[in-house]
Structure 1
Amino acid sequence: MYTKMVSLYFFVCINSLVIYVNSRSINTPAVCKLAPQPGPCYSYNPRYFFNDETETCELFIYGGCQGNGNNFETQKDCMSLCSLTSSVPLRRSTRDAENSADPSSDPNSEQATSNKTLVITAIEPSTNTTEPARKREDICFQPFAEGTCKENLIRYYYDPEVNKCIKFIFKGCFQYDNNFEKLEDCESLCVIPDKQSR
């Protein structure tokens, strides 16, 4: 009997795996299978696309026009539409259900648990690296670049010669890491409090 139970359990597991793999290709929205399209424009818009091969949402730069639907402003939006969500019924073994005198009175019986569902959502850990997590030298001592596009964005860069963050107009499309949206971010990472400016 033990061999039959092991064989049955193995068969159920293999069948569940086949159903899981087959339902993956059926349940993924078509838009999530499209390749990322930056479009022909030259704006600099960090966006996320769903990579159907790795089953993760990855960063790309969107130019601001045309493109396709596999283009999300946040990783969360991308994952909520495109990531696999699987429902798996929760059941105890058949032997436990057979040993229960009244299945409806036993909260662990197959009958009592047949309506319970475990939802599993695959979420890739964030690979977003924030400025404070990176080395100061890797960011603050890079040159700054105004960019080559037609945007007019106020940004800040750190000038190590004067130990200050300086405001500039960023045109978009090309930048080094020494480019901050907020003065506070630039100062908290780069400015050395004890160093006197010349």
Structure 2
Amino acid sequence: MLIKEFLAVLQLFCGLRYVSVIKKPVACYMKPDYGTCKRHLTRYFYNDSNYKCRTFDYSGCGGNGNNFDTRRECRYLCGGEYSSDDLDITRPVACYMEPEYGNCRKNYTRYFFNATEGLCSSFVYNGCGGNGNNFRNMGKCRNLCGEWYDPNKESCLDPPSNIWCPIWPIYAEMWYFDAGTEKCIAFLYHQCARDQNVFPTCKKCMQQCRRYMKRLQRCPRERSVSTPRLENDG
């Protein structure tokens, strides 16, 4: 399905505004949702009216994708403070996500890659929701994101799986290398997936997969994003 067609479906069924051109995940434009439980957790949401990440009270389950554990994660995904080119993206995109504990009531030991420390660590997963930085055992985490990850392992020729996670519907515009056309192509990427052939920018895709191009393509000029004025408490 073409991106424009998919966006039209989103508009029809979700009533979302401003999704004709996605420079941020769709969830960044959603109103903060308190959820359906009775806990009181401090979370962060992106306020599109003033371009800042604000705190809100979250009940612990339900809600939508405009819900972040840390202000930094909110600013990176929605606020425009952190440019993807400033990050050393050498692993699958999911490896750089904060661990998401889920929104059910079970307790499972899972593992996530801590990009700051460069190590895999355990966390308690509640059984549903979450993102791709979630592994059943330490070995899988180390193989895909951690110290056993091989950056030279072939990745450009495998199409992204782009699996659907209905409980955590966050899409973002990413790029992948299409072996048929020998070009890097933009697509809507679901953050539950853990694919290697997924890149945050056309430039990053070109750097990794240009060896498969008979002719190098010209990437579109990336729109500069002005840094929002940040609050003093973050």
Question: TM-score scaled by structure 2?
Answer: 0.29
Question: TM-score scaled by structure 1?
Answer: 0.34
Structure (1 or 2) with the larger CA radius of gyration: 1
Query: Which one scores higher on RCO, CA 8 angstroms, separation ≥ 6?
Result: 2
